[in-house]
Each structure stands twice: as structure tokens, then as C-alpha cells.
Structure 1
Amino acid sequence: MPCVQPANPDRVKELKEESFIREGKGKLRVTIEGQEKLETTMSGSLKSVEEIAEMLGVQAKDGKIETVVDGVKVRMERGKLELEFESGEKMKIERA
């Protein structure tokens, strides 16, 4: 059974939401839910599950990531990334 490592907060101190997006072809829908719900579309594509797992210092299991990094819940599967912050705000980035 593979050992699942906890996320390494030191590796993610300088990461921003844009770090998960690759410039180029494609469209992404970004939804932010907090006091209000904001939705927009932008050009680009999500980085792969494996790339993001490496950025966060965790291991992907069955092509998915479910972890907590520096108080932020991160859930990802191919084409869809969800971040839930301690404040209760949620951000979802997915293929449009």
C-alpha cells in the first residue's frame, strides 16, 4: 500500500490560484462562492492532476487529489479543481 504524504505547506507558500492554470488553448469556467457568487470564463487549461500533486507535495491516488494544504481543502480530478478556504469561500475551476 503506498504511503500518502501530508501536504508540505513550505512548498505552497507562494502559490496563487493562477499557478494551477496553463496558458494556451481551451476555456475554463471559474466560479467563486462566498457572500456572492461570481462566475467568469477565461482562456487556458488546468494543469494535470500529477503536476498539481507535485506542486502541492502530495501524491495523487486514482487520478484524484483530496488534501488540506495550509488550511485550504483541495479536491481535484481531471478537468476540475475545487478549493475551499477557511473563510468558507469556495472556488471551482473547470473546463467550459
Structure 2
Amino acid sequence: MSCIKPPEPEKVMNLKEESFIREGKGRLKVVIESEGETLETTVRGSLKSVEETAEMLGVEAKDGRLEATVDGVRVRMERGRLEMEFENGDRLRIERD
């Protein structure tokens, strides 16, 4: 029996960047790139682990890395860094500051 759960599109559709951040100590830099404009900010907290994120998205992590396309969003993650590229070309990057 596989420990990988099938993707649940209704779960993924409701995810926001906050879904990948755990409250607590630390600082994260959030960069959003959209149509030539860049928005950069810093938030308190830490990224969830690659394994937690993989389970949340219903995909498999390999060697501490995650690379998948879920509901049209390309997701790449490794410890301390998350990148998402949306169908419209917008990009979101969250990394340790």
C-alpha cells in the first residue's frame, strides 16, 4: 500500500503562501514577481519541511527536494527555499532571510 495520497484539487485550490509557513521563530523573505513588477517583504516564521509540503500537495519528495506541477502551478522546494510558478507567469519565492 502506497503512503502517497492522491492529489485533492479542492485542497490545493485553497492554498496560499501562508499555508507553507509555520509560525514561530525565524524570518522569511517573500518575493512575488508579476508582469515586470517585484514585491519583496519579510515575514516572521519558518518554512514547513519538504516532507510536510509534499504531503500537503499529495506528491512525493525525493532526496529532500520537491519538484512537481500541481493544479497548473509548478512547485520546486528544498530545505529553506520554496519557488512557485503560476500559469500566468507570476512567480512566488519564499526563502530564509
SS at match of 1:66: strand
TM-score (norm 2): 0.88
Aligned residue for 1:91? 92
Q: Could you list the per-position Cα deviations for residues 47-69 of structure 1 after superposition, in whole angstroms to 9, with x for gaps in the alignment?
A: 00000000001110010000001
The verdict on how the C-alpha distance between 1:5 and 1:55 changes in structure 2, with shifts beyond 3 A counting, is: closer
**SS in structure 2 of the partner of residue 65 of structure 1:** strand
Indicate the residue corresponding to 1:54 in structure 2. 55
Q: Do the aligned partners of 1:83 and 1:91 also contact (CA within 8 Å) in 2?
A: yes
Structure 2 unaligned segments of length 5 or more: list them.
none
Shift of 1:34: 1.0
Tell me the residue number matched to 2:16: 16
SS of alignment partner, residue 12 of structure 1: helix
Kindly report which structure 2 residues correspond to 1:1-96, keeping only aligned pairs within 5 A, or say none. Answer: 7-35=7-35, 36-96=37-97
TM-score (norm 1): 0.89
CA distance in structure 2 between the aligned counterparts of 1:70 and 1:34, rounded to whole angstroms: 19
- Residue 84 of structure 1: CA displacement? 0.2
SS at match of 1:75: strand
Name segments (4+ residues, structure 1) moved above 3 Å: 4-8
Provide the alpha-carbon RMSD of the alignment.
1.8
Deviations 1:3-47 (A, max 9, x none): x88854344132211100000000000001112011100100000
Conserved in 1, the CA contact under 8 Å of 2:32 and 2:38? yes
1:89 is matched by which residue type in structure 2?
A: D
Structure 1 unmatched runs, 5+: none
Q: Identity of counterpart residues, as a percentage?
A: 67
Partner of 1:86, secondary structure, is coil
